[in-house]
């Protein structure tokens, strides 16, 4: 049996702020797409589902923005 050398990846936080900003931008785009879809669909179940997803996205955005503040303080 071949023995594997399992080493953890180094902790590289150099691009954290950039990654967080990209996630924020993507989340906002997803929210806007969901809002547009909600405006054009008569399906109430889909509207409710999309509204719930957007609420979760809003909470996630708050967390990402707080994380971004922490990263930019460093």
pLDDT digits over 42-72, tens only? 999 999 999 999 999 999 999 999 999 998 8
CA angle 28, 34, 36 (to 5 degrees): 105
Tokens of 32: 């806007």
Q: Which of 26, 28, 17, 29 is nearest to 58 (CA)?
A: 28
Q: What is the 3-state secondary structure (H, E, C) of 20-73?
A: HHHHHHHHHHHHHHHHHHHHHCCCHHHHHHHHHHHHHHHHHHHHHHHHHHHHHH
Give the predicted TM-score (pTM) of the model: 0.78
pLDDT digits over 26-41, tens only? 999 999 999 999 999 9
**Averaged pLDDT score across all residues of the chain:** 91
């Amino acid at each position: 049996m071949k023995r594997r050398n399992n080493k953890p990846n180094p902790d590289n936080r150099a691009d954290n702020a950039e990654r967080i900003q990209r996630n924020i931008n993507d989340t906002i785009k997803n929210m806007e797409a969901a809002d547009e879809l909600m405006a054009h669909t008569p399906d109430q179940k889909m509207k409710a589902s999309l509204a719930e997803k957007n609420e979760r996205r809003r909470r996630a955005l708050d967390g990402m923005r707080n994380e971004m503040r922490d990263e930019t303080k460093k």
